[in-house]
Structure 1
Amino acid sequence: MSTTIPWDDTVLPFQLDASDVRGRVVRLDGALDEILGQHSYPPAIEALVAETALLTALIGQSIKLRWKLSIQVRGKGPARLIATDYYGPEEEGGPARIRAYASYDAERLDEGADPFSQIGEGYFAVMLDQGPHMTPYQGFTPIAGTSLSDCAQTYFAQSEQLPTRFALTFGRSQSPGQAASWRGGGIMLQHMPQVGMAMKDTGEGGSGEGGLLDHTDILSGEPAENWNRVNILLNTVEEMELIGPSVSPTQLLTRLFSEEEPRVFPETEVHFGCSCSEDKVRQTMSIYGAKDIKRMTTEAGVVTADCQFCGAHYEMDPATLGLEAEKARKEAEARE
């Protein structure tokens, strides 16, 4: 789906020079529409996927070229898993790619309840893949607060001791004469690290839920005053400004933070994109023996696989799959 507004499907980094705060503005419409259009999720699951996708785009924008950032939300409630991937641009100035999917128990789902409550006890995880021969980074924080945005804020406080704030909104919108489509937008604020900035020693853990860290455990003095001031300004933002069909990201920053001296940097386009392929499916199957492959073979005599992110369907000859087939392939390559 092509965008009709220049700032749709973009993440704009910025810095508030007067308060030592950095941030990003995200706008997703076509990408979010494609993510949710791959599935027929119930409204509660759509809301969780939409919120996680916005968080992923905001957090992922800072990763380097060709790196991958993933967020996983796992719970014991009806919403068992929300998984997202953000692929950094292949080259400087190129677009990033994002994908997402959810696993849920439809029979246990309470559509009348708050979507966040459907996760239950669990964890919020951020994973960073820096490429071949590099050990992936993984960070976890318990499901806490009243939203996935709260979980992300707690993650940054716990894992990196960086006060962080998210303001997000999303939903289906419809312009006259056009079909309804998804739109989402949001702002991420983060206090910049400072020399000597460290967690205050309260002696009793953090001030947040369950003893988790909060910004009050990390900041004091002038940095705390700056952080509180920009958060008060962010509290004045309106939902339609965040979604932004008539308000550009730069206009929004000027409206909210004009006295904080906002400075913007080059934006990153974000497209829906999946990394699945038949070769990757074959690689996954290469750990199985002939008996396992036989059990996977359908009555039609093929092995099938479906991508949970984009719905791609693959059909493969079982004789070309598994340990034995991979060994034969490598032997043939060695003889050539």
Structure 2
Amino acid sequence: MTLGSQIAWDDTVLPFQLDRSDIRGRIARLDGVLDSVLAQHDYPPVIEALVAEMALLTALIGQTIKLRWKLSLQVRGDGPARLIATDYYGPSKDGEPARIRAYASYDKDRLDEAGDAFAQIGKGYFAVLIDQGEGMTPYQGITPIAGGSLRACAETYFAQSEQLPTRFSLSYGQSSVPGGVESWRAGGVMLQHMPKASPHATGGGSGEEGLLAASDIVEGDDEENWNRANIHLDTVEDLELIGPSVQPTELLVRLFHEEAPRVFDPQAVKFGCTCSADRVRQSLSIYSAKDIAYMTTDEGRVTADCQFCGAHYEFDPATLGFQATKEP
């Protein structure tokens, strides 16, 4: 296999369906996207791991939703990792890549850099936000932090809020091909049972703190099919998920050849930020001249930095707010 064919699937999400099991899924490979996301900041390794996992979940979940604009995932906790936030912007036209961005806010003084990454979040919540653009009502779903990983939080969200049995298998880290430079890679598989009404959709569940789990919302043939597909997924190895030599289509056959897998068109993804000077001006347009004066530095400028990409903006305060006296 040539290097070109090895990396042909990097930064893509491949949708598939298991016809025998009535299960849909996604396989994601992130390479340059993840490097670009993490290169915007100098995060400690435990924070990098959380951002990498969230970015991979975002790529997998975002591609399952018919978006006009944006999907956001957020984790907020009372631990040293205060916030992990990601955005997925759906392609505006067929054939265009989707865009992903991410950032983290953390308390360096409280961070246990030798400890478990997920434990740095503490108690809090996992949120999914869908914004379909102007004229549409945004959607927000929230579930408590539980399960020992961000992957488990996402599975709980789908069971609890959407009543969809969902499973993720993820791998991520820094790696390199022989003779190459070390870079971030991530790969994952998402399985989701096709939507159906469930007799177990109400009341307490078997998950942590009584939350619903996938096993609570499948029964009969659906339960048998779901369990069988998950047993197959349990055999996947890290190198199959993130290594460059196993293509996603080959991995599907390895894991699910008995389930009649069927693939659809892959979706390319790239790092992308929507910040701009105009957007910053718009966000400041609600402030009075007094508010703008409070934000003005000793050098006579109003400054703003994008938390996602690190872009730095400077403005003449007279051009800002609803009492602006000068044109930009």
Corresponding residue number in structure 2 for 1:334: none
Partner secondary structure for residue 324 of structure 1: coil
Corresponding residue number in structure 1 for 2:198: 198
Corresponding residue number in structure 2 for 1:314: 313
**Contact kept? 2:88, 2:100, Cα under 8 Å:** yes
Q: How many residues align?
A: 325
- Percent identity reads 70
Q: Which string of whole-angstrom CA distances, capped at 9 and with x for unpartnered residues, describes residues 150-172 of structure 1?
A: 00000000111110000001001
Query: Structure 2 vs 1, CA of residues 291 and 108 (structure 1 numbering), >3 Å: closer, same or farther?
Result: same
One-letter amino acid of the structure 2 residue matched with residue 252 of structure 1: L
Corresponding residue number in structure 1 for 2:125: 123
- d(CA) in 2 for partners of 1:135, 1:104: 31
Query: Structure 2 vs 1, CA of residues 201 and 58 (structure 1 numbering), >3 Å: closer, same or farther?
Result: closer
Corresponding residue number in structure 1 for 2:32: 30
One-letter amino acid of the structure 2 residue matched with residue 109 of structure 1: L
Q: Which string of whole-angstrom CA distances, capped at 9 and with x for unpartnered residues, describes residues 83-102 of structure 1?
A: 00000001012110000000
Query: Structure 2 vs 1, CA of residues 21 and 4 (structure 1 numbering), >3 Å: closer, same or farther?
Result: closer
Corresponding residue number in structure 2 for 1:99: 101
Matches within 5 A, 1:1-80: 5-80=7-82
One-letter amino acid of the structure 1 residue matched with residue 198 of structure 2: A
Corresponding residue number in structure 1 for 2:211: 212
- d(CA) in 2 for partners of 1:249, 1:79: 33
One-letter amino acid of the structure 1 residue matched with residue 117 of structure 2: P
Query: Structure 2 vs 1, CA of residues 44 and 249 (structure 1 numbering), >3 Å: closer, same or farther?
Result: same
**Contact kept? 1:22, 1:191, Cα under 8 Å:** yes
Deviation at 1:183, TM superposition (A): 0.3
Corresponding residue number in structure 1 for 2:298: 299
**Contact kept? 2:163, 2:201, Cα under 8 Å:** no
Q: More displaced, 298-307 or 94-103?
A: 298-307
**Contact kept? 1:3, 1:9, Cα under 8 Å:** no
- d(CA) in 1 for partners of 2:29, 2:242: 7
One-letter amino acid of the structure 2 residue matched with residue 14 of structure 1: F
- d(CA) in 2 for partners of 1:307, 1:253: 39
- d(CA) in 2 for partners of 1:3, 1:292: 55
Corresponding residue number in structure 2 for 1:136: 138
Deviation at 1:58, TM superposition (A): 0.3
Deviation at 1:177, TM superposition (A): 2.9
RMSD: 1.7
TM-score (norm 2): 0.96
Q: More displaced, 126-135 or 298-307?
A: 298-307
Corresponding residue number in structure 2 for 1:333: none
- d(CA) in 1 for partners of 2:5, 2:170: 20
**Contact kept? 2:31, 2:184, Cα under 8 Å:** yes
Query: Structure 2 vs 1, CA of residues 201 and 286 (structure 1 numbering), >3 Å: closer, same or farther?
Result: closer
1:182 to 181, 184, 187: 184
Deviation at 1:201, TM superposition (A): 7.0
**Contact kept? 1:35, 1:99, Cα under 8 Å:** yes
Matches within 5 A, 1:134-283: 134-194=136-196, 197-200=197-200, 205-283=204-282
Corresponding residue number in structure 2 for 1:332: none
- d(CA) in 1 for partners of 2:195, 2:283: 41
Partner secondary structure for residue 89 of structure 1: coil
Structure 1 unpaired stretches of 5+ = 330-336
Deviation at 1:297, TM superposition (A): 1.4
One-letter amino acid of the structure 2 residue matched with residue 311 of structure 1: G
Deviation at 1:198, TM superposition (A): 1.0
Q: Which string of whole-angstrom CA distances, capped at 9 and with x for unpartnered residues, describes residues 43-80 of structure 1?
A: 11000000000000000012335320000000000000
Structure 2 unpaired stretches of 5+ = none
TM-score (norm 1): 0.93
Partner secondary structure for residue 188 of structure 1: strand
- d(CA) in 1 for partners of 2:320, 2:270: 32
**Contact kept? 2:6, 2:244, Cα under 8 Å:** no
**Contact kept? 1:14, 1:262, Cα under 8 Å:** yes
- d(CA) in 1 for partners of 2:81, 2:101: 18
Deviation at 1:37, TM superposition (A): 0.5
Q: More displaced, 167-176 or 263-272?
A: 167-176
- d(CA) in 2 for partners of 1:268, 1:191: 21
Partner secondary structure for residue 113 of structure 1: coil
Query: Structure 2 vs 1, CA of residues 185 and 322 (structure 1 numbering), >3 Å: closer, same or farther?
Result: same
Q: Which string of whole-angstrom CA distances, capped at 9 and with x for unpartnered residues, describes residues 172-220 of structure 1?
A: 11223322110000000001123xx313278x61111111001221111
- d(CA) in 2 for partners of 1:138, 1:274: 22
One-letter amino acid of the structure 2 residue matched with residue 53 of structure 1: A
One-letter amino acid of the structure 1 residue matched with residue 143 of structure 2: T
Q: Which string of whole-angstrom CA distances, capped at 9 and with x for unpartnered residues, describes residues 264-313 of structure 1?
A: 00000000000000001001111111122112112222111100000001
Q: More displaced, 59-68 or 165-174?
A: 59-68
One-letter amino acid of the structure 1 residue matched with residue 318 of structure 2: A
Deviation at 1:3, TM superposition (A): 11
